[in-house]
């Protein structure tokens, strides 16, 4: 299970939101690249980089930031504003090791299919963000009639290998990760599921690893506020930062 330190960038600053609400942004750094380098020095080989400005439709994907983050030696899993094949390819050309599709793939799974064919399954992930069981889209402002399992099954049939599963109610709240739901999604679809949101302790990491079904975990606030040490997380049995899930 791979541990991905999260770097969410809003107006050039590293922040964490609560349930996706930009009005509740906590600022942790004014230098995203230095933050990425710091996580690499602490043992991370992957980072989960998101441009919230791009995700909210306020800007294009920040190619220079992706390029600079990749120059730290980290593999960059990038999300935010990747709504077309061209945007995905530009992010990869800038240095992203994997791009994350959100609303665009929920609305049109064929986009994910096309990118898997063009880039390879290891370089494409789809964000499945759930609110009360239904998938949330458009910056989590809207919900759909689809569930993570129903869409996950369709994506798997299209050749998608990785999904990032978040429960909106947990994100940024340090209330515990969606362990059972993420494991069920993996078991039901055969997808490599990366759990995101809610991690607050080393025990949360251990619980995810013990399922034997979860391929990775994205951790943000717990790392930034010192509730979890990255070295401890990487040292937990069943976790690591060097393998490609």
Phi and psi, residue 55, nearest 5°: -65, -35
Residues 95/71, Cβ–Cβ less than 8 Å:
yes
Coil, strand, or helix at residue 71?
coil
Interacting residues of 94 by C-beta distance below 8 A, sequence separation 6+ = 63, 64, 66, 67, 70
Which entry of 53, 129, 171, 204 is annotated as an active-site residue?
Answer: 129
Alpha-carbon gap, residue 134 to 152, rounded angstroms:
12
Tell which residue, 143, 222, 146, 132, has the closest CA to residue 177.
222
Q: Could you confirm whether 8 is annotated as catalytic?
A: yes
Residues 59/87, Cβ–Cβ less than 8 Å:
no
Alpha-carbon gap, residue 181 to 21, rounded angstroms:
23
Interacting residues of 155 by C-beta distance below 8 A, sequence separation 6+ = 105, 109, 112, 126, 163, 189, 191
Q: Could you confirm whether 204 is annotated as catalytic?
A: no
Which entry of 8, 53, 171, 204 is annotated as an active-site residue?
Answer: 8
DSSP 18: E
Tell which residue, 54, 62, 56, has the closest CA to residue 32.
62
Catalytic residue numbers, as ranges: 8, 129
């Amino acid at each position: 299970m791979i541990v991905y330190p999260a770097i969410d960038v809003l107006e050039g600053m590293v922040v964490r939101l609560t349930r996706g609400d930009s009005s509740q942004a906590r600022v942790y750094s004014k230098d995203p690249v230095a933050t990425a380098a710091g996580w690499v020095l602490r043992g991370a080989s992957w980072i989960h980089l998101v441009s919230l400005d791009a995700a909210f439709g306020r800007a294009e994907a920040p190619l220079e930031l992706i390029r600079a983050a990749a120059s730290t030696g980290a593999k960059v899993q990038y999300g935010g504003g990747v709504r077309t094949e061209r945007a995905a390819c530009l992010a990869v050309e800038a240095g992203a090791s994997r791009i994350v599709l959100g609303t665009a793939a929920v609305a049109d799974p064929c986009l994910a299919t096309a990118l898997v064919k063009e880039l390879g399954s290891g370089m494409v992930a789809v964000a499945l963000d759930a609110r009360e069981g239904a998938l949330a889209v458009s910056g989590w402002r809207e919900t759909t009639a689809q569930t993570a399992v129903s869409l996950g099954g369709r994506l798997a049939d299209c050749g998608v290998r990785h999904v990032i599963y978040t429960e909106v109610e947990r994100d940024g709240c340090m209330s515990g990760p969606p362990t059972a739901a993420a494991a069920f999604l993996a078991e039901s679809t055969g997808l490599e599921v990366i759990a995101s949101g809610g991690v607050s302790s080393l025990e949360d990491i251990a619980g995810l690893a013990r399922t034997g079904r979860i391929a990775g975990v994205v951790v943000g606030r717990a790392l930034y506020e010192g509730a979890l040490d990255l070295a401890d997380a990487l040292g937990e049995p069943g976790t690591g930062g060097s393998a490609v899930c």
